[in-house]
Amino acid sequence: DTGVSQDPRHKITKRGQNVTFRCDPISEHNRLYWYRQTLGQGPEFLTYFQNEAQLEKSRLLSDRFSAERPKGSFSTLEIQRTEQGDSAMYLCASRGDTSNTEAFFGQGTRLTVV
Amino acid sequence: AQKITQTQPGMFVQEKEAVTLDCTYDTSDPSYGLFWYKQPSSGEMIFLIYQGSYDQQNATEGRYSLNFQKARKSANLVISASQLGDSAMYFCAISGSARQLTFGSGTQLTVLP
């Protein structure tokens, strides 16, 4: 499978716990995005990497959220001290070099904070 | 800043009929791209069609066409000959110098048999 893959697909955690999600983009794509999507809404931009550099972060990304892409390949998104409001689908997408190519999305990680 | 507005929370269409999903956008970038994605109940985001701001012709991909009216800042999606499998959430998105894709709130399309 050469698409974008995300792991895990589902995560249930207790409030206050830390969680980490992983995204493996399409191998030749240098641009990687994280989005959050709540029920009935469009995806909201969280952060953007070009290779290993984190170039943009949304104001939505509080101090409890951190993302990395250490070698310019896979990326991780960590949420510390989870809150019930963090419950959402977390989507990862990757894009190639050309400025306005489409983004390819993974199937997402659904987080439920109880 | 970029913004996408989709004013139709839900739409119904009879099978085999055509349907238009509305999208208006706002951007200060001189060059930008407009995208439509489909999200079925399974959750994956499926790319449908792309229109560049400098493209002279409206984009078409099979049963999907994008009615691009630059002066009105609209990029409506037209689905011809609707099928039951077209029932899904549809999102319009824009990408410009900000490099991120900004999405609208979506339109839930239901195709009736």
Stretch A5-27: mean pLDDT: 97
Which pLDDT belongs to residue A75?
97
Stretch A48-67: mean pLDDT: 91
Indicate which of A23, A54, A100, A105 best probes the interface with B, i.e. most B CBs within 10 Å of its own CB.
Answer: A100
Which pLDDT belongs to residue B77?
98
- When pLDDT is cut at 50, 70 and 90, the band that residue A106 belongs to is very high
Residue A2 has pLDDT above 80, yes or no: no
Contact list in A for residue B44 (CB cut-off 8 A) is: 105, 107-108
Which pLDDT belongs to residue A101?
79
CB of B104 less than 8 A from some CB of A: yes
Q: How many cross-chain Cβ pairs, A to B, lie less than 8 Å apart?
A: 57
Q: Long-range contacts of range A47-56, CB-CB < 8 Å, 24 or more positions apart?
A: A47/A77, A48/B99, A48/B100, A49/A75, A50/B99, A55/B99, A56/B98, A56/B99, A56/B100
- What percentage of residues in chain A have a pLDDT greater than 90? 80
Residue B52 has pLDDT above 60, yes or no: yes
Stretch B46-52: mean pLDDT: 94
Alpha-carbon gap, residue A66 to B62, rounded angstroms: 40
Residue A100 has pLDDT above 80, yes or no: no
Classified as helix, coil or strand, B63 is: coil
Residue B57 has pLDDT above 60, yes or no: yes
- When pLDDT is cut at 50, 70 and 90, the band that residue A99 belongs to is low
Q: Long-range contacts of range B80-83, CB-CB < 8 Å, 24 or more positions apart?
A: B80/B18, B81/B16, B81/B17, B81/B18, B82/B13, B82/B14, B82/B15, B82/B16, B82/B17, B82/B18, B82/B19, B82/B111, B83/B15, B83/B111
Nearest to B43 among A42, A45, A89 (CB): A89
Contact list in B for residue A110 (CB cut-off 8 A) is: 43
Contact list in A for residue B102 (CB cut-off 8 A) is: 45
Stretch B26-45: mean pLDDT: 93
The residue with greater pLDDT, B1 or A67, is A67
Report the mean per-residue pLDDT for chain A: 93
In degrees, rounded to 5, the angle at the alpha carbon of residue B6 between the alpha carbons of residues B5 and B8 is 150
Residue B44 has pLDDT above 80, yes or no: yes
- Tell me how crowded residue B58 is: count the other CB atoms within 10 A of its CB: 15
Q: Which residue numbers of A have CB closer than 8 Å to B's CBs? A: 31, 33, 35, 40-45, 48, 50, 55-56, 89, 91, 93, 99-105, 107-108, 110
Report the mean per-residue pLDDT for chain B: 94
Residue B104 has pLDDT above 60, yes or no: yes
Stretch B85-102: mean pLDDT: 91
Which pLDDT belongs to residue A7?
97
